[in-house]
Amino acid sequence: MVRALTAESFLGVGRPAASRRCVPGQEYHLALQRLQSKQQIIAELISGRLPLLEATAQFRAAQPPAKDQAGAPPSDDGERLCRTVIGWAYLALSERPERADAFSEELEQELQDHLARHGTVCLPRA
C-alpha cells in the first residue's frame, strides 16, 4: 500500500516530538546563504575579479556578527581573516593541488607585500 506524502506526515504532525523530522528553520537558511556567499566570493577571488583584501572584506561581511566570550565585538583581525580566505581558496582548488599551491603562494605574497607597506591589514568596509 502506498501512502500519499502530506505536509502533516512529513512534519510529523500527530506523532510524538521525538519522532518528528527536523525542519530547517531561519538559522539554517541564513547559514546556507552565508556559505553560498562565501563560495561566490572565493570563486571571484580565484577568477581574478577580486583582490585579496576586497575578497576578505566581503567574506567578513558574509559572516554572522562575532562576539568575544564577554559578549563584546572582538577587535578586527584583518591578517587572520586574510589567511582564512587564503585557506578557503586553497580548499576550493584542492582537486588541482599544483594550482592550489601556486595560487595560495600568490595570495600569501600579496598579503606579505601589504604588510610590508602598511604594517597591518585594515579591511575596507564591504
Picking from 58, 20, 26, 53, the residue whose alpha carbon sits closest to that of residue 39 is 58
Q: What's the grid cell of residue 108?
A: 600569501
Q: What is the rounded CA–CA span in Å between residue 84 and residue 107?
A: 11
Whether residue 76 contacts residue 61, with contact meaning beta carbons closer than 8 Å, is answered with no
Q: What is the rounded CA–CA span in Å between residue 102 and residue 5?
A: 51
Q: Look up the pTM and report it.
A: 0.73
Q: What is the rounded CA–CA span in Å between residue 122 and residue 77?
A: 8
Q: What is the mean pLDDT of each run of 10 residues along the chain (126 residues)?
A: 40 50 76 94 97 96 71 68 97 96 98 96 85
- How buried is 33 (Cβ within 10 angstroms: 0-12 exposed, 13-18 middle, 19+ buried)? exposed
